[in-house]
Amino acid sequence: MVLDPPLASPIVGRLVVIGVGLIGSSILHAARARGLAGTRVAYDASPAVRERVLALGLADLVAATPEQAVRDADIVILCVPVGAMGAVAKEIGPHLKQGAIVSDVGSVKGAVLSALRAHLPEGVHIIPGHPVAGTEYSGPDSGFATLFKNRWSILTPPEGADPAAVAKLVELWSAMGANVETMTADHHDLVLAITSHVPHLIAYNIVGTAADLETVTQSEVIKYSAGGFRDFTRIAASDPTMWRDVFLNNREAVLEVLGRFTEDLIALQRSIRWAEGDKLFDLFTRTRAIRRSIIEIGQETAAPDFGRAHD
């Protein structure tokens, strides 16, 4: 998988990425590969990460402080845990120029929008975003330019958002290879609760249960891990700080979906207990069709996967 050739001219003059983990470093990789910004600026709270960003050549400038990073910025993308959005916004707010666009990459949008609105000044365009892409790896070395290729990037502009600012972000994400969709923050949070947040919660839970059984089964849980359990462990290896913040900041939608899941799980338990084979067969047939649909639209591969390789 490769990106398109570099653009004839940059989309944005000064692009700032705050927080250089998997997503932040991938944005910088893509921006460098396609010439998306006149100047790429990076900041991370960790001095070790800042040094690594310099060594990797991911940015034209690695700022020493958030204030320095956002000075004269045209677009700022916050790639920090959801729970840290408010604190970062408070730091950078007084130093943003009029007309700057501030976005993010968090998996929760309602809480992020509230946090940014509380601390960013009038005249700054707040347009939350969420690239639905990732791996279980983190840190500046984990990023790669094609992470967003043919993946969805969701923007949740609030009511009254400047259309030109929204269009600029759409153009930027599209140039990184993403398919861009817009929706309200509340709708995003409900959709992601079922497609991402609750599946992660289930993965964390089943892997935790397996860990509890590990001593009982004398290591057989790990030794005989089959495909299903391997997939659960891949999901459960995701960054713990990020996912803690996701669940705390999307409580309502997660609990709503988790309640529905619990009801369906009890019904499934009943079907197994009473040997209702037809009901089990119908459920498995419907869920198999969903998997095939995901493959057909290019959001997954049918090939065996024992570790996600990338370009």
> Which CATH number fits the domain that encloses residue 199?
1.10.3660.10
Same domain, 192 and 283: yes
Residue 142: inside a domain, yes or no? yes
Expressed as residue numbers, the domain containing 125 is 12-183
DSSP state of 103: E
C-alpha distances out from residue 15 to 4, 140, 268, 270, Å: 20, 17, 50, 54
Same domain, 63 and 153: yes
Same domain, 191 and 169: no
Q: Residue 75 in contact with residue 100, Cβ under 8 Å?
A: yes
pLDDT along the chain (311 residues), means of 10: 90 98 97 98 98 98 98 98 96 98 97 97 97 89 96 97 98 98 97 93 88 68 72 83 92 94 95 95 89 74 50 44
Instruction: Give the E-state strand segments of the chain in sequence order.
Output: 12-18, 37-43, 61-62, 75-78, 101-104, 125-126, 129-132, 152-155, 179-182
Residue 307: inside a domain, yes or no? no
Residue 289: inside a domain, yes or no? yes
Contacts of 35 (CB under 8 A, 6+ apart): 6, 7, 9, 10
Q: What is the pTM for the complete model shown? A: 0.86
Same domain, 42 and 147: yes
The helix-helix angle for 251-273 and 198-214 (nearest 10°) equals 60
Q: What is the pLDDT of residue 214?
A: 65
Same domain, 76 and 222: no
Same domain, 234 and 129: no
Number of H helices, E strands in the chain: 13, 9
Between CA 250 and CA 62 the distance in angstroms is 32
For tokens 């609990």, what's the residue?
255
Residues in the chain: 311
Number of independent structural domains in the chain: 2
Q: What is the pLDDT of residue 302?
A: 60
Choosing from 154, 183, 212, the residue where a domain stops is: 183
Between CA 178 and CA 157 the distance in angstroms is 17
Same domain, 167 and 285: no
Same domain, 124 and 105: yes
CA-based end-to-end distance of the chain: 6
